[in-house]
Amino acid sequence: MLTSPVVRCIKQQIPGAVVHYLTKKAFLPVAQAIGHTDKIYSIESDIAEVINELKNEGYDFIVDLHHNLRTMQVKRALKKDSAAFPKLNIEKWLMVNLRINKLPGIHIVDRYFETLDSLGVENDKRGLEYHIPPNEEVDLNTLPASHKDEYIGFVIGANHYTKQLPVHKIISLCKQIEMPIVLLGGKNDEAKASEIEQALKDKVYNACGKYSIHGSASLLRQAKKIITHDTGLMHIAAAFKKDIISVWGNTIPEFGMYPYMPGANSHIVEVKPLSCRPCSKIGFKACPKKHFKCMEQIDEDLIVKLIRNS
């Protein structure tokens, strides 16, 4: 999602540009949805799966926005001019381990464009982009009658436990929100969503694991407002310029991956200051300190107030 402005600007600002995209197969639907690509290559795990085909394409330039072992293998094999995104691993390590903030204070999307300096491509400041296939749009008439007209979208999951509100906090928060709520997430979130649904009954519609990524995107697009953790659906919501309340746990927005150009009434909710935060640049399966204050102390009243004032 965060690479979508880069692809769009290359395509639109370099006359005659042909743009190919390489990603993992798990992310193929999203790569297709961002548009502006002429061809997409995907792999399960190893670039050897496609490297011979890539060699035959005759590329002029490689834009490396991942800068990891796989992308280095691609560049080494293709032997073409390239530019790589600086990942700021040292700066992130200093912040996580020593609480020394040397981070640049700009969004990762804006830093991506530094990779394009030699191409003369500039950020058009139009934000992220996501195109839902027409046959994947969700008809709200298929939702319960209570949720057809207006609802809050609540993205309940994330890749790591320490980036998610505990179930009891989600239940407590939902009880205080006056509007109907649609729970959004993937199959990994089904058990969690079921527990929330049992506690709240008809107050929520559990959409977790019931829709494709495009279907979930459609429900995001049609929501009144979005509550979300730091996760992929948050960035899809930003592509639709939704008003987003993003809730942050062990990671921090200063790493540069907060919602990019979302709706004007968007807010970040986090526990500040907290001496143990951030404890990781990604996340953990459990709180290393055992207290999980970064999520347990999230101000529910503030979130409810932000919803009411929308």
pLDDT tens string 259-293 = 999 999 999 999 998 999 999 999 999 999 999 99
- Residue 142: predicted pLDDT: 96
**Structure-token pair, residue 189:** 């979130």
Asked whether 88 and 37 are in contact (CB, 8 A), the reply is: no
- Residue 310: predicted pLDDT: 67
- Residue 309: predicted pLDDT: 85
Ramachandran assignment for 58, one of left (phi > 0), alpha (psi -120 to 50 degrees), beta (any other): left
Residue 234 has pLDDT above 70, yes or no: yes
| pLDDT tens digits for range 58-88 | 999 999 999 999 999 999 999 999 999 988 9
- Residue 12: predicted pLDDT: 97
Amino acid identity of residue 233, one-letter, is L
**What is the mean predicted confidence (pLDDT) over 241-255?**
97
Helices in the chain by DSSP H: which ranges?
A: 4-13, 28-33, 51-55, 69-78, 89-98, 108-112, 167-176, 190-200, 213-221, 232-239, 293-296, 300-308
pTM of the entire structure? 0.95
pLDDT category of residue 151 using cuts at 50, 70 and 90: very high
Distance in angstroms (rounded) separating the CA atoms of residues 150 and 148: 6
Strand duo 20-24 + 81-84: pairing: unpaired
Asked whether 156 and 189 are in contact (CB, 8 A), the reply is: yes
- Residue 146: predicted pLDDT: 95
